[in-house]
Amino acid sequence: MNGGLINYQDRYNAYYAAIKATHPDITLVADTLEIDTPVGEMKDYHDYDVPDNLVKAYNFFDQNTTLVQTLIGEYACVYPNTASNAVNWTAGLWHHPFWIGTVSEAVFLLGAERNGNKIFGASYAPTLAVYQPPHWPMDMIYFTADPAQTILSTSYHMISLFSSIRLTSVLPVATNAQTGPLYWVAGQNDMTGSHIAKFAVYNSTGSVPVSMGFEGVNPGTKANLTVLTAADGYSYNWLDEPNVVVTTVTELVAGPWGFEFELPNLSVAVLVTEGSGGVGNPHNGWSGWNGKGGYGGCGRQHGWQWGGYGAPWC
């Protein structure tokens, strides 16, 4: 197409003017971040990548504006890490979602969720595929005419956990940890009164100790810690092994400085308190692994939406 992006900008402007003239309440979604869009409209972002690159994108949305929201219309880890860290599209995609890829997707989503006032939602793509042979092999759910043969991918289990526990607001973070190997978002659900932290551990040399607390959560407050793991990074779900993901739920009790626990390498986890815990804890937000350090984070903001490609956003 002659003119490239400039031509596309002109076409967007023409569509925008024509649609808004008769349907001013419709929100337009530009299918690239590079287009200049008016305040209140949206941009669509797609990311199919290798694990290392998805992890590097943890901070990708930090500098986004709140004036134009981003829809992560498609994302997935589609190939293992390579020497060039590039997807070899000519060689074909990997054959199934695999655990280290799922953990990298979790890191990417945590970075998006902590920018929830800038992101409209995120959808794994594709969501559904016929079992044999799928046209696009990296799918969240595979199915046949027999419901007993439905395959829920490793990524399905991660997305199901993250989606079922919602943040309505994001809280600041205090931590001494550099970015990685522990990645997180913290906040609360204003409807349940629960404080929530979501984690992913990517390529650590061992288990990662975490000591963290929320402002307003007293010692003695209980919380459930749900941890997802798999035998190795390339484990995947299929008919002969329908679920390689191990789910462990542990009840924790806050001490004087919050909750203390360890997360293994290549794990995804969510901690949820039992509800409002009163006042008195000295922490502002929560403190990350090893429980010390300065103040950082992204401030308080609204939550966002989870879904699959073509799935509801709520």
Cβ-based neighbours of 260, under 8 Å, separated by 6 or more: 209, 210, 211, 252, 291
- Confirm if 179 and 203 have CB atoms less than 8 A apart: no
φ/ψ of residue 118, rounded to 5: -110, -15
pLDDT value of position 6: 58
Name residues of the chain where pLDDT drops below 50. 1-3, 176, 277-314
* Alpha carbon distance 103, 180 (integer Å): 12
Three-state secondary structure call for residue 111: helix
User: The pTM is what?
Assistant: 0.86
CATH of domain 169-298: 2.60.40.1180
Q: Read out DSSP for 5-51?
A: HHHHHHHHHHHHHHHHHH-TTPPPEESSTTS---TT-EEEEEEEE-H
pLDDT value of position 78: 95
pLDDT value of position 2: 44
pLDDT value of position 174: 53
Q: How far is CA 251 from CA 134, 138, 225, 254, in A?
A: 40, 34, 6, 10
Every domain of the chain and the residues it spans: 4-165+304-308, 169-298
pLDDT value of position 92: 78
pLDDT value of position 180: 86
* Alpha carbon distance 228, 247 (integer Å): 5
Work out the burial of residue 141: count CB atoms within 10 Å of its CB; fewer than 13 is exposed, 13-18 middle, 19 or more buried. Answer: middle
Cβ-based neighbours of 120, under 8 Å, separated by 6 or more: 42, 69, 70, 71, 304, 305, 313
pLDDT value of position 275: 72
Residue 120's CB is within 10 A of a number of other CB atoms, namely 18
pLDDT value of position 132: 77
What sign does the CA torsion over 106, 312, 48, 82 have?
positive
Tens digits of per-residue pLDDT, 6-56?
A: 588 999 999 999 999 999 999 999 988 889 999 999 999 999 999 999 999
pLDDT value of position 122: 94
pLDDT value of position 137: 85
pLDDT value of position 197: 95
pLDDT value of position 160: 97
